[in-house]
Amino acid sequence: MSWQVWALVSAVFTALTAVLARAGSAGAESDAVAFMRSIVILLALGALCLATGQWQALRSLTGRNLGYLSLSGLATAGSWACYFRALKIGGAAQVATLN
How do the domains of the chain map onto residue ranges? 3-98
* Alpha carbons within 13 A on the beta-carbon side of 58: 11
Q: Which residues of 21-58 are buried (b: 16+ CB within 10 A; e: fewer)?
A: bbeebeeeebeebbeebeeeeeeeeeeeeeeeeeeeee
pLDDT in tens, the chain (99 residues): 899 999 999 888 888 888 898 899 888 998 999 999 999 999 999 999 999 999 888 889 999 999 999 999 999 999 988 888 888 888 877 887 776
* Closest to 21 in 3D by CA, of 98, 89, 72, 88: 88
Listed in sequence order, the DSSP H helices in 25-98 are 30-52, 63-89, 92-98
Those residues with Cβ within 8 angstroms of residue 52's Cβ, 6 or more apart along the chain or in another chain: none
Q: What is the pTM of this model?
A: 0.76
